[in-house]
Structure 1
Amino acid sequence: MNKKLLAALLMSTALLTSACGDDEKDEAENVDVEGCEHLQKGPGVAVTATTSGTAPSVSNDHRRYDISLADGTGGRTGSVSFAAAEATDYVFFTSADVPLVVRNSSGAVVAIEESTSSSAQCADIKGRHVVPLTVGTHTLTFGPTSTATVSLVIEEASHEGHDHEE
């Protein structure tokens, strides 16, 4: 009887473990669908990135930010700022495969957890960067690149049942 109980317990654990993995995959796919929707449909806000001084701000407010990059060393470049309201992972979706560096308010580079130039959910996603951020203002620097404009959508990595503001 103990063998049957042990087997049942192991099977239950295996099912729970595999279900959790599926939930994480579904969550990532849902975030990609959300990011794609806003890359495609907006609403869009035009922003001009800066190479010095105060960077213009962007947000995770269900908008697409169409960021014009400036001429810089090695190509087009520029920075914008993002104020993270909570400490969590954020996903930065871009319409072009351009280099991205994220710095915290102290100027230290924040390590990107995951970075890819595509999404199985959406052909319009050319950059997908998952970054763990603390509460506070961060600087996002794009480039150098030959691309003059890059569109950006920011989503929290895990968000459930939010309302769109369009």
Structure 2
Amino acid sequence: MRKAICLILTIFIGLVLNNGCDKTNPLKEIDYDHSIYEVIKHAAIHMQDHSGYAVRAAAYMPGAHLEKDSIKHRRIDIYLPVEETAFGGYIHFGPELIGDMIVCINVETPLFITNCDSLGNEKALKIERTFSSNEIADSANTSLVKTAILFEAQPGANILKIGPVSQSLISLIIEEATHEHND
């Protein structure tokens, strides 16, 4: 009886050690949704901060420049110029901010992102994901953020086109998509 139990246990341990991890299948893609919603929720906290600052967006590219240190965990109140029938404008940041970024805005508005390298070459950046106000309210449990986009910022100027939107003043937060929230 002991030999049978030892044999079964040995076979089981051997199977686990040798085959427990299927090395033939690639790793599954990591689900970032949980951490992204945490970042959006964190941005909503900063929407309420009194430490925001004002910027006037430009009617033309590249727009007002946002310094890296001035946007970390801070609300930016943006005054938008008049477009044809609404408001809209451009701001830009970089070149030192690169990688996955989230832009959170307190109104529902179209957002477009373009990159301009040091040689002046422009290219539209792919918005990896757009978050609607309903999705944000359901998943991040906040109504302070109405629109959010996830994109990969590139070296050079990352130019954000805001609008058209019906109001001339909006608030936004630019956050790295994955980072520690200590404050």
Flag the 1:53–1:33 CA change in 2: closer, same or farther, 3 A. Answer: closer
Deviations 1:66-97 (A, max 9, x none): 11111112421111111142431100000001
Matches within 5 A, 1:1-166: 1=11, 5=15, 9=20, 21=31, 24-52=32-60, 55-58=63-66, 59=68, 60-105=71-116, 106-118=121-133, 119=136, 120-121=139-140, 122-160=142-180, 164=183
- Segments ≥4 residues shifted beyond 6 Å: none
Q: SS of 1:70's equivalent?
A: coil
Question: How large is the Cα RMSD of the aligned pairs?
Answer: 2.8
Does the CA contact (< 8 Å) of 2:101 and 2:174 recur in 1?
yes
Q: SS of 1:80's equivalent?
A: strand
TM-score for the superposition, normalised by structure 1 = 0.80
Distance 1:97 1:116 in 2: 10
- Measure how far apart 1:134 and its partner are: 1.2
Deviations 1:87-110 (A, max 9, x none): 311000000011111110132211
For the pair shown, the structure with the greater C-alpha radius of gyration is: 2
The gaps in structure 1 that reach 5 residues or longer are none
Deviations 1:24-73 (A, max 9, x none): 34322321222111112242111111113662122431111111111112
Count of residues paired in the alignment: 156
Over the matched positions of the two proteins, sequence identity in percent amounts to 25
Q: SS of 1:154's equivalent?
A: strand
Deviations 1:2-32 (A, max 9, x none): 69836x8269xxxx969x54xx343223212
- Measure how far apart 1:158 and its partner are: 0.8
The gaps in structure 2 that reach 5 residues or longer are 1-10
TM-score for the superposition, normalised by structure 2 = 0.73
